[in-house]
Amino acid sequence: MQKAADRARGATLYVTLEPCAAHGRTPPCTEAIIAAGIARVVYASSDPNPKMAGGADVLRTHGIEMQSGLMSQKADKLNRPFFHFLRTDRPYVVAKAAVSLDGKLATQSGQSQWISGEQSRRHAHRLRAESDVIIVGAGTLRRDNPSLDVRHARRRGQLPLRAVICSEAPEFKPDYKLADGTAPSRLYVKKPTKQGVVWQQAGVEVVQADTLDDVLRHLASEGRLAVLLEGGGRLHASFFEAGLADELVLYQPPILIGGEQAPGLWHGLGIKQLSKAPHLTDIERRMLGNDQLIRGRIVYPD
């Protein structure tokens, strides 16, 4: 609207979310809309934040025509991390993995590149581009030395934070891609050690956090609301068993790996009764080359 200046007068404004009506970090959107001379506002979703809601009524009292509900389901999906934060005070966590038909993340020797095909990998990079944070565990850091970068997809703004959750800072190695300076990087540790100082000297932030909930609330305090979980079976298990993974994205190629020692997606305690099993809802299934994409929101039984 600032760029449009006088040309905005009498125009129609299309937005995904109802314009806010209260002061927060910035002045109310309603004030800017009124000042710009907008004649009509079309918004998809009502603002779920009671402190900010009511913008539509404010604009109507100033003679601005209001229309709501257009493409609301798509808008709700787009704004899902923000809405989730308003309800829970923590980010929205998408757990992503490539698994064989028998649920294995890697072979018994640890080989995992590449289980999925090229189309799946490109799709995974689009997920990264939509995220504020990419999280792995210490085991993935040591075994794969991942770059956790964004390729094959356009990212607007700052690159996602690359984060590793570990009990304590692992031994630093100069060839770790996490310390290459190409994107912000951080270790979340339960206790500080001398190795943590070495990581900090290499440009990687070290933050102490006792629990996964502490990690997520710290990220939320920075406005990082879209989290992509890319760790191994133990890290996925810790999020599933704590009820902190909100969505699951699986890439499943038509291969079998087998073996008792081959790591699976949920490498933890698991469940004792099927009635306690988390399940997916709003399920999407489609083919990416020869791989099947399975995606859905996770529902945890009471």
Cα–Cα distance for residue pair 258/291, rounded to 1 Å: 18
Q: Which residues of the chain have pLDDT under 70?
A: 111
Q: Which residues, at least 6 apart from 107, have a Cβ–Cβ distance to it below 8 Å? A: 257, 259, 262
Q: For residue 260, what pLDDT is reported?
A: 81
Whether 19 and 33 share a structural domain: yes
Last residue of a domain, one of 30, 53, 77: 77
Cβ(39)–Cβ(64) below 8 Å:
yes
Whether 20 and 108 share a structural domain: no
Q: For residue 19, what pLDDT is reported?
A: 92
Whether 117 and 226 share a structural domain: yes
Q: For residue 107, what pLDDT is reported?
A: 79
Whether 50 and 171 share a structural domain: no
Whether 286 and 249 share a structural domain: yes
Q: For residue 111, what pLDDT is reported?
A: 67
Whether 53 and 186 share a structural domain: no
Whether 43 and 111 share a structural domain: no
**Domain count for the chain:** 2
Whether 139 and 281 share a structural domain: yes
Whether 108 and 248 share a structural domain: yes
Q: For residue 268, what pLDDT is reported?
A: 79
Q: Which amino acid is at 25?
A: R
Separation of CA 246 from chain center: 9
Whether 134 and 86 share a structural domain: yes
For residue 43, the SS3 value is strand
**50 lies in which domain range?**
5-77
pLDDT in tens, 60-86: 999 999 999 889 888 888 889 988 998
Q: Exposed, middle or buried by CB within 10 Å (0-12, 13-18, 19+), for 59?
A: buried
Whether 287 and 154 share a structural domain: yes
Last residue of a domain, one of 77, 99, 114: 77
Tokens of 188: 């979340």
Q: For residue 173, what pLDDT is reported?
A: 93
Last residue of a domain, one of 56, 77, 98: 77
Give the domain CATH number at 148.
3.40.430.10
pTM of the prediction?
A: 0.85
Whether 271 and 282 share a structural domain: yes
Give the domain CATH number at 43.
3.40.140.10
Cα–Cα distance for residue pair 61/124, rounded to 1 Å: 46
